[in-house]
Amino acid sequence: MGSDKIITLTDQNFENEVKASQIPILVDFWAEWCAPCRMVAPVLDELAEEFDGKVKIGKLNVDQNRSVAAQYGVMSIPTLILFKNGELVEQMVGAQPKENLQKVIQSAL
């Protein structure tokens, strides 16, 4: 389930989808076995709909894509990183309330 607006990120497409993105993108570093990651997933679906066309939302499974996770020093999940113009502008660790994520996204617009 979930929003069809969420982009599945991999080590292979990260450069194109995130670094070259014309609009800000919030990336969720997650894994299947992570309960807090599952808690934040519906919030990300809502944000993907709410900010459609203004901000992209992507999910990167850290078990399957270790090199990008290592590149950004992701030690705990979920880690949510907001990129703007290919640059890291905000990094949050742990499940975040929707309001926090909305504020962070708004600040990048």
The Cα 109–Cα 94 span in angstroms is: 23
The answer to whether 34 is a known catalytic residue is: yes
> Catalytic pick from 25, 37, 44, 69?
37
Residue with tokens 């090199």: 67
Burial of 5 (0-12, 13-18, 19+ CB in 10 A): middle
> Catalytic pick from 26, 34, 48, 74?
34
Residue with tokens 């609009």: 23
The answer to whether 90 is a known catalytic residue is: no
Q: Which residues are catalytic?
A: 34, 37
